[in-house]
Amino acid sequence: MQNNSLNYPAVAEDGAPASLQAYFKPDISPDDIEQVFRLKRAQPLLQAFTALFHGGSDGVLVRLLVLKELAADTQVSALSRADINTRLAYLEPESLETVLARLRSHQLLAWDAAQGVYRITPMARNVLAALDGLFGLTQGDDEAEMGFLLSQVAGAQAVGGVNVEQLQHLLGRLVDLTEEFRDAIASGSEFRLRAAQSKWHTACDWVEKGSQVIHAITTDPQADTATHRAAQAIGRAQSALLNMQGMFSRALNQIERQRVHLGQSGLSTTDIKTWLMQQEDIAALADGALSTPVQPLFITPSEMIDVAEAELFADRATTITSSLPAGEDAPVTHNDEAAMPAELDAWLSRLSAFDLPAHTAAPVQDTLLPASFAVASYRASLLPLLGDESESALQGGTALMARLPLAFAPGDGMVTLSDPHVAALSNASLSLKPEHQPDTHERRSANPDRPAPDAPDAPARQQAGEARAVG
């Protein structure tokens, strides 16, 4: 029995439908779709890419190799078969003949029968130029993967041929990066935040390079409305991307405040995780750390009876002593809990007495050192509390530290030190808060004819004024 309700499309020898209509619903014509019309118009270019990239990866590599080798010689415009055999002598003759025939049948190579030479077609050079541009930008240090898209927009704008599709590709990449960074911030993972922040810096470099291009497009009177709208959307996406610096800083500061330190060793859970991630075989760390499991010993029933009889007939002490045991002195223990509060008091005294010139920032190592690694790590873990409003409203030593007139500014990178205990520190600085900076403008405005004091005499005069105030 035959079921006429099932209509399967015709299938070609390679397993694909024989016609384009077979991919679409019966009531829809492919010619009514705008993108299909545009792709059909570019059919010769698509056939060139099909000739290069159809089949296995090894065949694709050999075809690109032959075409790039033939197009590399720009001194001559035609190549004889002898020249091709000499240039590609490392290939088998049969394989070379197959590749040349495929490139010639898809208009990537032109055969001049009158002169008996091969020529590189303009389409082949366009394809190679696009591939070389993509290879060069994707194999570099472009973590944001925006270089190729921006170069296409910049090149098209330079020759006056930028279109909406190129701008939409760049806009889509900016939106993807923004969502990726937001997900990293919402994850709360320090390692994911650090990786996202590094990619964000790369994206900001590309945004800075492309700002002039986008500005030129938005101010171009010859651009159509769709191009203007796409360029304006790119500008808004760039602004949203640049504004994420504050979000990264707040998330990292929150993680810094919640960091758990392992006792007085100066190490934190982040240090332990970083070290574990650097190990190639984590399971090997347990070698020698696990003891041998218990090995049971089995005995015969006769031996068990002998042991039971010996225990059964053994003389047991029937007297039970009811006297209390002799008294013992309580063990003497040493409590080290007050070590850190004492160190906190010393750290508060050091910060309160820290002499910081006005309108300057001092490196953080000037206050942390000299000290041991454990003490320096403990002090550094408290620096993010400076200026914390929620902490300053509480009581205790950390609240006193939050109310100090100092501002902590973390930076990027590490600073190498010559300290015997600390080899390097994160780049950061301390400065006075703006509301605690001395106001020199009012003193100058009181006597405008008086010249401004020299920089070396200003601290001495300030100290003299403080001395007179105390007297």
CATH number of the domain where residue 57 is located? 1.10.10.10
- Number of structural domains (the chain) is 3
Task: Enumerate the β-bridge partners of residue 361.
Answer: 431
Same domain, yes or no: 434 and 415 = yes
Instruction: Decide which of 80, 108, 131 is a domain's last residue.
Output: 131
Same domain, yes or no: 147 and 246 = yes
Same domain, yes or no: 146 and 85 = no
Same domain, yes or no: 355 and 396 = yes
Tens of pLDDT along the chain (471 residues)?
444 444 444 445 555 556 888 888 888 888 888 888 888 888 888 888 888 888 888 999 999 999 888 888 878 888 888 888 888 889 998 999 999 999 988 888 888 888 888 888 888 888 888 888 778 766 656 666 777 888 888 888 777 778 788 888 888 888 999 999 999 888 888 888 888 888 888 888 888 888 888 888 888 888 888 888 888 888 888 888 888 888 888 888 888 787 777 777 778 877 888 888 888 888 787 777 766 666 777 777 777 787 787 777 776 555 556 677 777 777 766 554 444 577 888 888 888 887 777 777 888 888 888 888 888 888 888 888 888 888 888 888 888 888 888 888 888 888 888 888 888 888 888 888 876 665 544 444 444 444 444 444 444 333 333 333 333
In the chain, how many H helices and how many E strands? Answer: 20, 6
Q: What angle do CA 198, 201, 207 make, to 5 degrees?
A: 145
Identify the pLDDT of residue 320: 58
Residue 394 inside a domain? The answer is yes
Residue 468 inside a domain? The answer is no
Same domain, yes or no: 246 and 158 = yes
Same domain, yes or no: 124 and 148 = no
Residue 300 inside a domain? The answer is no
Same domain, yes or no: 123 and 150 = no
Residue 106 inside a domain? The answer is yes
Same domain, yes or no: 178 and 87 = no
Residue 213 inside a domain? The answer is yes
Instruction: Decide which of 238, 254, 270 is a domain's last residue.
Output: 254
Q: Which domain holds residue 60?
A: 40-131
Full-model pTM: 0.49
- In angstroms, rounded to a whole number, what is the distance separating the alpha carbons of residues 14 and 11? 8
Identify the pLDDT of residue 61: 92
Identify the pLDDT of residue 445: 43
Identify the pLDDT of residue 447: 45
Residue 331 inside a domain? The answer is no
- In angstroms, rounded to a whole number, what is the distance separating the alpha carbons of residues 120 and 182? 48
Residue 24 inside a domain? The answer is no
Identify the pLDDT of residue 205: 84
| 315 secondary structure, DSSP code | -
Residue 465 inside a domain? The answer is no
- In angstroms, rounded to a whole number, what is the distance separating the alpha carbons of residues 194 and 171? 24
Identify the pLDDT of residue 224: 82
Same domain, yes or no: 202 and 118 = no
Same domain, yes or no: 173 and 223 = yes
Same domain, yes or no: 57 and 125 = yes
Peptide bond into 370 cis (omega under 30): yes
Instruction: Decide which of 110, 131, 152 is a domain's last residue.
Output: 131
Same domain, yes or no: 370 and 392 = yes
Instruction: Taking the CA atoms of 353, 357, 360 and 365 in sequence, report the sign of the dihedral they define.
Output: negative
- Identify residue 232 by its one-letter amino acid code: Q
Identify the pLDDT of residue 458: 41
Task: Enumerate the β-bridge partners of residue 429.
Answer: 363, 409
